[in-house]
């Protein structure tokens, strides 16, 4: 069995990846996570009796710890999810994004390079470092602009996207300079189970269920390309196993929606699921609030490369993925309560109270 080190494997996308591949028994997984605000041990509770899932509470900036993990477990790949990811948080407090997304990626890369240099030639050839990134590094599109490709210019507009762009450049430089066998994937907006409820879709689902206002930034016409998280997980695995070293693959859902369309879809599904709800129609809860600074108007991903080269395409439509997501949040109230800590409530107050 292969061994993978997965950083950030208790976060949203990382935990879905870990859950999927422990179910498939694809690899023994060494799961390194700092458990910051979005890392939730509840995302992987069911795996603690699994001898081939080893959780380590730690920081990718801890080079001694990373060195010890690599030396002890001899991974065949490192899959790097660990990141601060929320744009609004990066506006209020950018330092954590620089520390994790830039300095942390550098620390991890450098320890992996040292480990890789000491592997036997055959293992060096098959080893991979897979960096998970975002379409936000490309900046914002106009209404008639073509979707982002792997050759699009980097133009990040928030501290978050700038920090992820920096991480991408570092990873690419370690391939060009040192020959480290890297892969980079840039994905569009993900949604699905285990997503921290300050992000748009889970926030709207949970607020609607509680009869609270649904705060929509600006005019609600900012456009995002939406990707169901398990479709993303499947794409990551394909790139890890079949992607060409040193290359970037864009992963998108081919599903451009305005924010208001997303919220209205959630409301319509909830109206159908709860026809007798006192909150019906749930769309009556929608409230437009002051836009956030530097809010990119439109993202869209051209996934032609991964579709043509590796045969990947999304399995879910926006409607089927959204229904699965809403049902998951309805059925997992214990998980929701575990993440609705005082710190989470404080964050919602800080971000929305003056809008």
Q: 311 lies in a domain?
A: yes
Q: Are strands 256-258 and 223-228 parallel, antiparallel or unpaired?
A: antiparallel
CA–CA separation, 296 and 140 (whole Å): 5
Q: Is pLDDT at 56 greater than 90 in this prediction?
A: yes
Q: What is the pLDDT of residue 346?
A: 67
Q: What is the pLDDT of residue 16?
A: 98
Q: Does the annotation mark 135 as catalytic?
A: yes
Q: 133 lies in a domain?
A: yes
How do residues 175-204 score in pLDDT, each as one tens digit? 999 999 999 999 999 999 999 888 899 999
- 105-117 and 159-178 helices, crossing angle to 10°: 20
Q: Is pLDDT at 345 greater than 80 in this prediction?
A: no
**Alpha helix locations (H) across the chain?**
12-23, 63-73, 87-92, 95-97, 105-117, 121-126, 159-178, 200-210, 229-242, 259-273, 304-310, 318-331, 333-339, 342-352
Residue 78 CA: distances (Å) to CA of 30, 37, 136, 240, 284: 9, 23, 23, 10, 46
CA–CA separation, 308 and 310 (whole Å): 6
CA–CA separation, 82 and 66 (whole Å): 13
Phi first, then psi, for residue 33 (nearest 5°) are -145, 135
- Average pLDDT of 285-303? 92
Token pair listed for 207: 């607020």
Q: 339 lies in a domain?
A: no
How do residues 22-51 score in pLDDT, each as one tens digit? 999 999 999 999 988 778 899 999 999 999
Query: Catalytic residue among 135, 198, 231, 302, which?
Result: 135
Q: What is the pLDDT of residue 353?
A: 63
Q: Are strands 182-187 and 128-134 parallel, antiparallel or unpaired?
A: parallel
Q: 37 lies in a domain?
A: yes
CA–CA separation, 203 and 214 (whole Å): 8
- Count the domains in the chain: 1
Q: With contact defined as beta carbons under 8 Å apart, do 47 and 118 qualify?
A: no
How do residues 150-183 score in pLDDT, each as one tens digit? 999 999 999 999 999 999 999 999 999 999 999 9
Q: 7 lies in a domain?
A: yes
Residue 145 CA: distances (Å) to CA of 12, 94, 97, 149, 300: 30, 29, 29, 12, 9
Q: With contact defined as beta carbons under 8 Å apart, do 259 and 222 qualify?
A: yes
- Report the percentage of the chain scoring pLDDT > 70: 96
Q: Which of 222, 321, 344, 275 is nearest to 267 (CA)?
A: 275
- When comparing pLDDT for 351 and 278, which is higher? 278
Token pair listed for 187: 């994905």
Which domain range does residue 127 map to? 2-196+226-254+297-317
Cα angle: 256, vertex 204, 320; to 5 degrees: 50
pTM of the model: 0.94
How do residues 322-335 score in pLDDT, each as one tens digit? 999 999 999 999 89
Cα angle: 6, vertex 199, 351; to 5 degrees: 120
CA–CA separation, 351 and 88 (whole Å): 7
Q: Does the annotation mark 160 as catalytic?
A: yes
Q: Is pLDDT at 6 greater than 60 in this prediction?
A: yes
Q: Does the annotation mark 352 as catalytic?
A: no
How do residues 119-149 score in pLDDT, each as one tens digit? 999 999 999 999 999 999 999 999 999 999 9
- Report the percentage of the chain scoring pLDDT > 90: 86
Q: What is the pLDDT of residue 347?
A: 54
CATH of the domain at 308: 3.40.50.720
Q: With contact defined as beta carbons under 8 Å apart, do 302 and 252 qualify?
A: yes
Q: Are strands 53-57 and 27-33 parallel, antiparallel or unpaired?
A: parallel
The whole-angstrom distance between residue 218's C-alpha and the CA centroid of its chain comes to: 24
Q: 152 lies in a domain?
A: yes
Calculate the average pLDDT of the chain: 94
Q: With contact defined as beta carbons under 8 Å apart, do 307 and 252 qualify?
A: no
Q: What is the pLDDT of residue 350?
A: 65
Q: What is the pLDDT of residue 40?
A: 86
Q: Is pLDDT at 285 greater than 90 in this prediction?
A: yes
Q: 283 lies in a domain?
A: no
Q: What is the pLDDT of residue 253?
A: 95
Q: 331 lies in a domain?
A: no
Q: What is the pLDDT of residue 123?
A: 96
Query: Catalytic residue among 136, 198, 231, 316, which?
Result: 136
Q: What is the pLDDT of residue 89?
A: 86
**Alpha helix locations (H) across 250-332?**
259-273, 304-310, 318-331
Q: Which of 137, 143, 180, 131 is nearest to 160 (CA)?
A: 137
Q: What is the pLDDT of residue 197?
A: 84
Q: With contact defined as beta carbons under 8 Å apart, do 37 and 81 qualify?
A: no
Q: What is the pLDDT of residue 219?
A: 95
CA–CA separation, 337 and 44 (whole Å): 16
Q: What is the pLDDT of residue 184?
A: 98
Q: With contact defined as beta carbons under 8 Å apart, do 185 and 340 qualify?
A: no
């Amino acid at each position: 069995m292969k061994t993978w080190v997965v950083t950030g494997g208790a976060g949203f996308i990382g935990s879905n990846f870990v859950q999927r591949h422990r179910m498939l028994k694809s690899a023994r997984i060494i799961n390194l996570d700092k458990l910051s605000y979005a890392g939730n041990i509840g995302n992987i509770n069911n795996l603690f009796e699994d001898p081939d899932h080893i959780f380590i509470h730690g920081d990718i900036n801890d080079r001694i710890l990373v060195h010890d993990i690599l030396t002890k477990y001899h991974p065949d790949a490192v899959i790097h999810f660990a990141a601060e990811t929320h744009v609004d948080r990066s506006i209020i407090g950018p330092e954590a994004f620089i520390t994790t997304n830039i300095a942390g990626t550098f620390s991890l890369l450098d320890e992996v390079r040292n480990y890789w240099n000491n592997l036997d030639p055959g293992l060096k050839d098959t080893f991979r470092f897979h960096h998970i990134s975002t379409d936000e590094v490309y900046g914002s599109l106009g209404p008639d602009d073509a979707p982002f490709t792997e050759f699009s210019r980097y133009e990040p507009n928030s501290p978050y996207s700038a920090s992820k762009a920096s991480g991408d450049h570092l990873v690419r430089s370690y391939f060009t300079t040192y020959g480290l066998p890297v892969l980079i994937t840039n994905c569009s907006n993900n949604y699905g189970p285990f997503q921290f409820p300050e992000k748009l879709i889970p926030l709207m689902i949970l607020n609607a269920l509680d009869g609270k206002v649904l705060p929509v930034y600006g005019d609600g016409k900012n456009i995002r390309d939406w990707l169901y998280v398990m479709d993303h997980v499947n794409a990551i695995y394909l790139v890890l196993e079949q992607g060409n070293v040193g290359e970037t693959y864009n992963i998108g859902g081919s599903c451009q929606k305005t924010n208001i369309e997303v919220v209205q879809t959630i409301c319509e599904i909830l109206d159908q699921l709860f026809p007798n709800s006192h909150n019906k129609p749930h769309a009556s809860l929608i409230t437009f609030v002051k836009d956030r600074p530097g809010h990119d108007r439109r993202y869209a991903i051209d996934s032609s490369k991964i579709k043509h080269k590796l045969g990947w395409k999304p399995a879910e439509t926006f409607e089927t993925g959204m229904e699965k997501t809403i049902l998951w949040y309805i059925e997992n109230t214990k998980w929701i309560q575990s993440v609705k800590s005082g710190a989470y409530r404080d964050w919602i107050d800080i971000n929305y109270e003056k809008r």
